[in-house]
Amino acid sequence: MAGPKVAWQCACFLVVVLFTLAEALLSGLYIDNGDQTMIHHAMTRNERLVVEHEILELLGLGERPRRARAPPLDRSAPSFLLDVYKQLAEEHEQARPTRSSEMALSGEEQQAIDESDLIMTFQSKKHHLGALRHGHGRHVWFEVAGTPGDASALLTAELRLHQAPTHTELPTSLYTVVAHRVLSVDNLGGLQLEEVATVNTSAGAEGWLELNVTSALGAWLRSPADNHGFFITLHPHSQPERNVKPEEIGLEEPRGAIVEGKQPFLVAFFKSGPKLDTSEAGARRKREARRWRSNSDNYLKNPLTDSAHWTTRSCEIQTLYVSFKDLEWQDWIIAPNGYGAFYCSGECNFPLNAHKNATNHAIVQTLVHLLNPTQVPKPSCAPIKLSPISVLYYTDDSNVILRKYKNMVVKSCGCH
């Protein structure tokens, strides 16, 4: 009985949070009123403040991400996670995949996706030291400071480089791509490097090369100041002492003349949930929300308990839908467009039959309630099956997070 009770408590919390969200705008939340699905009414500014805080805290954010322009979904980092998001959505709906992914997920990546709670991608950026050059190699850097996950929660991390086909005649066909962690840079531009990963490829190949750089990202998460990026080198498989320019076998430039959607990116898989934002804005938001809650005159109305709007009926699933687009969150939430949460509502009256998905305990409780209604309450209408959702959103103009949330969607209801 512990499982359904815990699930019901989680669902109750979400219903309370989402019903407070109902009042954030004139639209955004759609609920059943007994006869039809309708838009709920508006809230005060103070109510909206606490609602925004609760939703952002649920997402693991201290402050709403602010973006000046539309999400550039043609970049490689968000494209990768959008493919992963669609795959997870199809799995939850038990649907067949509708399209193949250009990212060609490996077995190790698929396992990491299944095991992780949070996946984050980082688009390559220009480093403050400029384009570091050392022989025939290439420098690639990612901003990992402020990542909502720490080294202890990191499952694995991959550096992805795209290789385009070339028509150049090369003396050898097999090559080794090496990713080095840049340990330090001296005043003359000299680099101290540490090899962290290698991958083999061939001249004329096309697709994404994956290098396991978990150790490097873990070190940077522990000490962000040590992040000087990666240095990529290339040599013939049989001649490790001979360097070849990466572009000679079609490795895409990280900036400059970029082929859209082929930029290098870093993807990290975390097991535990995100840490909340500790910025001053996030702290101020929490203080204001606590101050609002402490005012005894402020209470959020719960439409589920308002007898003027709800008629008595048997326990069944009801509509509850949050539209992110209506709430004008589409500038930072990439997918989904909204959240179909649903909820359970109704009476668990005698006789309880199979259609009410009643437990044996609920049947006994109903009988005892008939004998002593003042001492023993009727069973409660609660979720008996819930499914997860995934939310894909920007943290800034380039880095993207895919976060999984368990027990978020009610699939069926019953009497407990």
- Tell me the mean pLDDT in the region 12-20: 44
- Per-residue pLDDT, 105: 74
Can you point out the beta strands (E) in 3-132? 29-32, 37-39, 118-123
**Which of the 8 DSSP states describes residue 149?**
S
CATH number 3.40.50.280 is the correct assignment for the domain at 104-270: no
**Which of the 8 DSSP states describes residue 72?**
-
Segment (H or E) for 270:
strand 265-270
pLDDT at 213 over 90: yes
- Tell me the mean pLDDT in the region 25-40: 55
140 DSSP β-pair partners: 230
Residue with tokens 């997920």: 105
**What is the tens place of the pLDDT at every residue in 49-96?**
666 677 677 777 767 777 666 556 778 888 899 999 988 888 766 554
Q: Which fold has domain 2-38+301-396+405-415?
A: Cystine Knot Cytokines, subunit B (2.10.90)
> From residue 414, how far is each of 278, 320, 328, 357, 408 by CA, in Å?
40, 17, 35, 4, 17
Question: Mean pLDDT over all residues of the chain?
Answer: 75
- Tell me the mean pLDDT in the region 229-233: 92
Q: Could you state, in order of their start, the residue ranges of all structural domains in the chain? A: 2-38+301-396+405-415, 104-270
Helix axes 45-58, 280-294, angle to 10 degrees: 120
Which of 174-188, 300-314, 383-397 bottoms out in mean pLDDT, i.e. has the lowest?
300-314
CA–CA dist 256, 279 (Å, integer): 34
**What is the tens place of the pLDDT at every residue in 122-155?**
988 877 665 565 567 888 999 888 787 778 889 9
CA–CA dist 243, 227 (Å, integer): 25
pLDDT at 405 over 80: yes
Q: Which amino acid is at 252?
A: E
**What is the tens place of the pLDDT at every residue in 248-274?**
888 876 554 455 678 899 999 998 754
CA–CA dist 65, 395 (Å, integer): 6
Kindly tell me the sign of the dihedral angle through the C-alpha atoms of 6, 11, 386, 8: positive
